[in-house]
Amino acid sequence: MHLSGMYPIVMTDRLAECRRFWVEMLGFEVVFEATWIVVMSSSGSRSLVAFMSPDHPSIPPGRERFGAAGLLLTLEVEDVDAECDRLATRGVAILHGPVDEPWGQRRFMLRDPAGVWVDVVRQIAPAEGFWDRYAAA
d(CA 67, CA 60): 13
- Cβ-Cβ contacts under 8 Å for 106 (sequence gap 6 or more): 80, 81, 97, 98, 99, 100, 121, 122, 124
Domain boundaries, given as residue ranges, for the chain: 9-134
Sheet containing strand 48-52, edge to edge, reads 9-11, 48-52, 37-42, 28-33
- pTM of the predicted structure, to 2 decimals: 0.86
So what's the pLDDT on residue 64?
A: 60
| 84-101 residues labelled b (16+ CB within 10 A) or e (exposed) | beebeeeebeeeebbebe
So what's the pLDDT on residue 1?
A: 86
Please report which confidence band the pLDDT of residue 41 belongs to, taking 50, 70 and 90 as the band edges: very high
Helix (H/G/I), strand (E/B), else coil: 41: strand
Q: What is the mean pLDDT of residues 57-65?
A: 68
Give pLDDT tens digits for 70-117: 789 999 999 999 999 999 999 999 999 999 999 999 999 999 999 999
Compute the chain's Rg from CA coordinates: 17
Regarding the domain delimited by 9-134, which CATH topology (the fold level of the hierarchy) does it fall under? 2,3-Dihydroxybiphenyl 1,2-Dioxygenase; domain 1 (3.10.180)
User: Has residue 137 got a pLDDT over 70?
Assistant: no
So what's the pLDDT on residue 62?
A: 64
So what's the pLDDT on residue 65?
A: 61
Higher pLDDT, 62 or 6: 6
